[in-house]
Amino acid sequence: MWNPCDQVEELDLDLPSNLGIKINYLKIRKTNFNENISDISNLDFIDLEEIKTFKTKKRSEEHATGRYLLYHMFRKYFPLIDPNLIRILRDENKAPYFDWKIKNDQLLPNFSISTTEELAIVAICDSNHCLGIDIEKSNEKRSTNLFDFISNGVELEQIRKLYDSENNFAINKIWTVKESILKALRLGMSISPTKLKVLDKNLDYKKSIIYEGDEIKFKNFLVKLSEDYSLSLAYRNLKSAGPGNRTRTAGLEGQNHTARPVLQ
């Protein structure tokens, strides 16, 4: 019987109230390499076949913590929807999203999950917006080889300048910003982060970008939890989204990786 190792905490980022975005976080249980994989089959919002594929206890604990937190928030912020009638499926980009177990035309909330080694964090909102959240330790060490993966052209040179003055803090910030946008677009790594230009000519972060006709707003925060973290939140209004992006509200979740997100 799996249970979390700590209490759920709410994070207040002083977002506009009309967005209806709620963010909670929960500590992930520490594991050792040779430990047996956790039995998490008692949890809601999981796929019993999917969890059979997990190879390590660490992977199991990350997934369990994120899904436990998501279920907790669903019940807390959407009490009029019975979670027993809801399941989580994946779209063509392997992004998980809420779906009814039986046919129902009511639109469901949208969510996004991110994990570090110590924390799982979930953002959830109603069906009017699609959102993405990403968190990383501010001082996480990065190789300069990452630069060419996340940007090119003028912005790549801007990133090099920022790295010269701010070191890992700069690269972790731009990484979380771009990954949160990819999540809000429900695209994961199906497109290159180089296609998303988030810096202006003054080396400041833009407030929004346009991608294929959709406006994605985003903001980065420096938050202190167990340590200092770079946290980025991106969102877009589905009511004004392009024709190909209005059909489903979905959530991307994943641990932070430089090559690809690991979907939870």
**Contact status, residue 9 vs residue 24, Cβ threshold 8 Å:** yes
Confidence of residue 37 (pLDDT cuts 50, 70, 90): very high
> What pLDDT was estimated at residue 158?
94
Confidence of residue 252 (pLDDT cuts 50, 70, 90): very low
Report domain extents, the chain: 1-264
> What pLDDT was estimated at residue 20?
92
Average pLDDT over residues 141-155: 90
Q: Which 3-state string (H, E, C) describes 4-35? A: CCCCCEEECCCCCHHHCCEEEEEECCCCCCCC
Q: What CATH number belongs to 1-264?
A: 3.90.470.20
Confidence of residue 190 (pLDDT cuts 50, 70, 90): confident
Average pLDDT over residues 49-66: 95
Confidence of residue 34 (pLDDT cuts 50, 70, 90): confident
Over residues 86-125, the pLDDT tens digits come to: 999 988 888 889 999 999 999 999 999 999 989 999 999 9
**Contact status, residue 249 vs residue 97, Cβ threshold 8 Å:** yes
- Give the C-alpha separation, 157 to 154, whole Å: 5
Q: Which sign does the torsion angle of CA 69, 256, 223, 221 carry?
A: negative
Confidence of residue 224 (pLDDT cuts 50, 70, 90): very high
Torsion of the alpha carbons at 211, 73, 4 and 56, rounded to the nearest 10: -30
> What pLDDT was estimated at residue 77?
97
> What pLDDT was estimated at residue 241?
58
Confidence of residue 51 (pLDDT cuts 50, 70, 90): very high
C-alpha pair distances (Å), 225 with each of 6, 10, 54, 147, 172: 14, 11, 28, 27, 16
Confidence of residue 41 (pLDDT cuts 50, 70, 90): very high
Q: Does residue 262 or residue 166 have the better pLDDT?
A: 166
Q: pTM here?
A: 0.89
C-alpha pair distances (Å), 160 with each of 142, 155, 182, 219, 222: 13, 9, 22, 21, 21
Whether residue 246 has pLDDT greater than 50: no
Whether residue 38 has pLDDT greater than 80: yes
Mean pLDDT of all residues belonging to the chain = 89
Whether residue 261 has pLDDT greater than 60: no
Which tokens hold the place of 21?
Answer: 């975005």
